[in-house]
Amino acid sequence: MEITQELLSDIVSSALKRGATEAEVIALETTDFSVDVRLGEIETLEESASRGLGLRVIYEGRQASASTSDIQSKSLEKLVADAVEMARLTSVDEAAVLPSRADLAGSTEVDLQLYDETIAALPTERKIEMAKAGENAARSFDPRITNSEGARCSTTLGRMLLVTSSGFVGEYRGTHCGLMVAPIARDGEQMQVGGWGDRQRWINKLDSPEEIGHEAARRALRKLGAHKTHTQEVPIVFDAAASGELLDSFFDAVSGESVFRHASFLVGRLNEVIAAPMLTIIDDGRLQGAVGSRPFDSEGLPTRRTVVVEDGVLRSYLLNTYTARKLGLHSTANATRGLTGAPGVGATNFFIAPGKYAEDEMIASVKNGFYVTEMIGFGFNPVTGDYSRGAAGQWIENGRLTSPIEEVTIAGNFRDMLRGIEMIGNNLRFRGNLAAPSLKINKMMVSGE
Amino acid sequence: MISPLTYFTENFNLTVADIEKLLAVALSRGGDYADLYFEYAVLSNLSLEEQLIKSANRAITQGVGVRVISGERTGYAYCDEINPEAIRTAALTAAHIANSTGATTPINVTAGQHKHDLYPVAHPASEEPLERKIEMLNRADQAARAYDRRIREVQASVIDEFKVILIATSEGLLIGDVQPLVRMNVSCIADDDGNLQAGRTGGGGRAGLDIFVGQRTPDQLAINAARQAIVQLDAIEAPAGAMEVVLGPGWPGILLHEAVGHGLESDFNRKGTSAFSGLIGQKVASELCTIVDDGTIEGRRGSLNIDDEGNPTSRTVLIENGILRGYLQDHLSAKLTKAQLTGNGRRESYQCLPMPRMTNTFMLSGQDAPQDIIASVKRGLYAVNFGGGQVDITNGKFVFSGSEAYLIEDGKITAPVKGATLIGHGPTSLTKVTAVGHDLALDQGVGLCGKNGQSVPVGVGLPTIKISEMTVGGTKG
């Protein structure tokens, strides 16, 4: 059976017929391909098409959902019956509503350049060549690159359809293409891996395999000889990749899901100064051809540009219909969902506006500090803002990078870290849907020996 | 009890002869090995917050994954529809990894028997009435709120999975399993005049709802979550620097999962990319440490009758009295390195390739009394609850993040401290284990392990142990 808007509309009708007050059906169809290459040989080749349907119903204020990867008519009948039956047993929740017709006003018929025909038509051989070229560039970069975790080239063709009982009908298609390279450098007994990659909607925007391979090799090589350092409080310069991880943590604190649950240190701080005045953070679902762009969110609301932090002032949380109602605000069209469950909140293209400094200038401004290029672990508590993670990078002495550092942690509280931002880099580049330039924070605790 | 073979043949109108033909199609371009992985799974989730049953969800996934191995190369494809035509298309796609045009050899499979029956469940949670789960959630909410009036938010959920799998291989294996899995989570936020703190716990296993008794009643789980949130209200800054660390029993076993477990998965070692590569027979921990991975413990979250390649799970000694003994194997790595299978080939679903993964990973009990271990520490950290952890396989650096920890001063547990990340180096951290308690405990059954984008349920366990030096990532220098 084909997945069509008519099929989705029929499921909505059938849910209403069974007693649902409101119904929303989402369908996702994807074709995934990936090739892993290691030491110049193909390691795995994966290729599949999959699809599924998800139904969310509201029955007199009670919400439930069901999904299936089997779209034969017998299974679809069961999907509707399951959802409606479960909705009779949940609690009345006044905030659980679909967006109204009025909310849905606004154009979702925009061409955001989400689909690259070249990716759709890319022959398997070409994808294998890209992975091989990326790995080869890394392996031939330096004799100390002695091993490899390999390289992966992947493509996704996706189609999303949404039909709701409040009258929304929409669909869009999109492509993604990614290339990741992970070479291993060795010096004596020490081995270090360096991972680097890029992901774009358009293949002509993707960094070349050579650029990715070389950067991956550089990132592995510069870790060789790494050691711990003494426990001390110092300024930190985060490279763009590490800054992106800070931004990812910050998202948790501005997501309406954390805010309405009082699980964010930013509760009640709208329109207050929360960060240094040079910090501006934006979520923009309408950037042309960008990875996180989409014409409408997972509830059918037209996407938009939301200024989250403007010159250090918290201007907006990121919200879906549910969290907006809980907070007495309007949705920012950040609803996101898979096939099952109520919509969550997700970023579209989420970024820190670039500043004026070259990263070199930022490093040069530090007398004794830490240039962080990798972080590991999950040590962020959005409720309190406490932050403590494993870190690796290079030490900065008198404005210059000196020796590589590993097996240390960096810790602080996000409230202080946001206010302590002293410099923002001019090096913003999206390698996915989230991007940040390099950041300098005045001080954090480095824990080591 | 459902027979997986009967389940798939009857519900999807397939025969054993069809399965044999499809395996032959998978090997039609050559290839050394092929397998089919049939899966039908129902995942249900019921959750409460703000004292409302806010959502009830049920997801049904089904499909077949086809794998073809040719030398060190693997081809993989899957289909969502379970019928011979769809599987045949996937098999032809996967077959492309091999490139000879040898004659097709007929394949015969024989239905195999289980070595284990680790989770016989009369009433899977997925078939229990929603009302019973709703009652559990309400009890948790009430217990947490009754524990302390400062508990402001309570979130609770019951998540269960019912999975039927069937594996057929070109080596003639035909074996299936019925895998129940249930988990209850409770998280609380305490609010003391604007000081907000969170606490969370959970429990579960391969069982029905009857597992929620003893220390795992909804009330007990909720009280534990509430207690953690309340403790954190008084937490002081965590210390920064290297110090003695005592880990409590149970869930702190996540240390082993990160410090040694991942590094001993055979795929990394076969490729020489792990910090543990080539260290078999060498000392990687103090002689007090014996660490095993055991997929055969009845009803545990990380246990399996067979792995996702159809092989029986086992108890594998990873480290024996400090000496590295073995790796965790899947089919491909065992074959390429001529090692014995250990039953650790696991995958998240039919959409994924199997890889070597842990099951339940823990350290055996030692001789020391836990209170003596704590009393022996002059200044250190006593950590009893953790969030997640992560490891860099290649350089061996690992972290795990504490969510409930206390200072030890002059042999006594004193103030609670804020969450902090602990960092160490896998091949050397455990050489600094200077005491091992006699109180081995396995975790309550909530672990989820991620690798290459695939998540699988796992267990961990630990007795109380002392590590003479570890870096604690607090803010107080």
Same domain? For B11 and B122 the reply is yes
Nearest CA in chain B to A413: B475
CATH class of A5-221: alpha beta
Q: Which residue in the set B56, B196, B273 is minimally distant from A89, CB to CB?
A: B56
Residue that terminates a domain, selected from B233, B259, B292? B233
Q: Which residues of B touch A340 (CB under 8 A)?
A: 43, 45, 57-59
Put simply, whether B349 touches A (Cβ < 8 Å) is no
pLDDT in tens for each of the 477 residues of chain B?
A: 689 999 999 999 999 999 999 999 999 999 999 999 999 999 999 999 999 999 999 999 999 999 999 999 999 999 999 999 999 999 999 999 988 766 678 899 999 988 899 999 989 999 999 999 999 999 999 999 999 999 999 999 999 999 999 999 999 999 999 999 999 999 999 999 999 999 999 999 999 999 999 989 999 999 999 999 999 999 999 999 999 999 999 999 999 999 999 999 999 999 999 999 999 999 999 999 999 999 999 999 999 999 999 999 999 999 999 999 999 999 999 999 999 999 999 999 999 999 999 999 999 999 999 999 999 999 999 999 999 999 999 999 999 999 999 999 999 999 999 999 999 999 999 999 999 999 999 999 999 999 999 999 999 999 999 999 999 999 998
Same domain? For B224 and B324 the reply is no
- Bridge partners (DSSP) of residue A424 are A439
CB pairs under 8 A between A and B: 263
Instruction: Quickly tell me which residue has 């985060």 as its tokens.
Output: A238
**What's the pLDDT score for residue A107?**
82
**What's the pLDDT score for residue A102?**
83
Q: What is the edge-to-edge ordering of all strands in the sheet holding A305-310?
A: A313-314, A305-310, A281-284, A350-352, A434-435
Per-residue pLDDT band for A139 (boundaries 50, 70, 90) equals very high
Task: Give the tokens for residue A423.
Answer: 């410099």
**What's the pLDDT score for residue B230?**
98
Q: Do the chains contact at B74 and A43, CB–CB below 8 Å?
A: yes
Contact partners, residue B127, CB within 8 Å, separation at least 6: B162
Q: Assess: ipTM above 0.85.
A: yes
Q: Do the chains contact at B57 and A64, CB–CB below 8 Å?
A: yes
In A, residues 276-335, which contact B (CB 8 Å cutoff)?
none
Nearest CA in chain B to A48: B77
Shortest distance between the Cα of A191 and any Cα of chain B, in A, equals 6
Put simply, whether A337 touches B (Cβ < 8 Å) is no
Same domain? For B45 and B166 the reply is yes
End-to-end CA, chain B: 59
**What's the pLDDT score for residue A434?**
98
What are the boundaries of each domain within chain A? 5-221, 226-449
Task: Give the tokens for residue A274.
Answer: 């929360």
Q: Which residue in the set B63, B155, B473 is minimally distant from A69, CB to CB?
A: B63
Range from A143-147, A269-273, B80-84 carrying the lowest mean pLDDT: B80-84
Nearest CA in chain A to B267: A149
Per-residue pLDDT band for A100 (boundaries 50, 70, 90) equals confident
Same domain? For B173 and B290 the reply is no
Pick among A77, A447, A449 to test the B interface (most B CBs inside 10 A): A447
Consecutive H or E run containing B315: strand B315-320
In this predicted structure, the answer to whether residue A336 has a pLDDT above a threshold of 90 is: yes
Same domain? For B145 and B248 the reply is no
Distance (Å, rounded) from C-alpha B397 to C-alpha B428? 10
Q: Which residue in the set A92, A223, A340 is minimally distant from B57, CB to CB?
A: A340
Q: Do the chains contact at A51 and B80, CB–CB below 8 Å?
A: yes
Nearest CA in chain B to A82: B58
By residue count, chain A amounts to 449
Q: Which residues of A touch B126 (CB under 8 A)?
A: none
- Bridge partners (DSSP) of residue A34 are A46, A154
Pick among A46, A186, A322, A326 to test the B interface (most B CBs inside 10 A): A46
**What's the pLDDT score for residue B103?**
62
A350 neighbors A335 (Cβ within 8 angstroms): no
**What's the pLDDT score for residue B102?**
64
Put simply, whether B249 touches A (Cβ < 8 Å) is no
Distance (Å, rounded) from C-alpha B400 to C-alpha B423? 7
Same domain? For B22 and B90 the reply is yes
Q: Do the chains contact at A50 and B397, CB–CB below 8 Å?
A: no
Contact partners, residue A6, CB within 8 Å, separation at least 6: none
Same domain? For B26 and B154 the reply is yes
The tally of domains found in chain B comes to 2
CB neighbours of residue A6 within 10 Å: 11
Same domain? For B196 and B261 the reply is no
**What's the pLDDT score for residue B100?**
77
If you write DSSP's letter for every residue of B392-437 in order, what string do you get?
-TTT-EEEEEEEEEEEEETTEEEEEE---EEEEEHHHHGGGEEEEB
Q: Do the chains contact at B419 and A44, CB–CB below 8 Å?
A: no
Q: Which residues of B touch A54 (CB under 8 A)?
A: 59
Q: Which domain holds residue B316?
A: 240-473
Same domain? For B245 and B312 the reply is yes
Nearest CA in chain B to A69: B61
Residue that terminates a domain, selected from B188, B217, B233? B233
Q: Which residue in the set A232, A233, A379 is minimally distant from B401, CB to CB?
A: A379
A435-448 pLDDT, tens per residue?
999 999 999 999 99
Distance (Å, rounded) from C-alpha B167 to C-alpha B156? 35
Put simply, whether A1 touches B (Cβ < 8 Å) is no
Strands B73-79 and A41-59: parallel
Q: Which residues of B touch A43 (CB under 8 A)?
A: 72-74
Same domain? For B216 and B263 the reply is no
Distance (Å, rounded) from C-alpha A319 to C-alpha A398? 44
Same domain? For B166 and B312 the reply is no
If you write DSSP's letter for every residue of A251-262 in order, what string do you get?
HHHHBHHHHHTT
Same domain? For B304 and B397 the reply is yes
Q: Do the chains contact at B72 and A263, CB–CB below 8 Å?
A: no
Residue that terminates a domain, selected from B190, B206, B233? B233
- CATH number of the domain where residue B200 is located: 3.30.2290.10
Put simply, whether B140 touches A (Cβ < 8 Å) is no
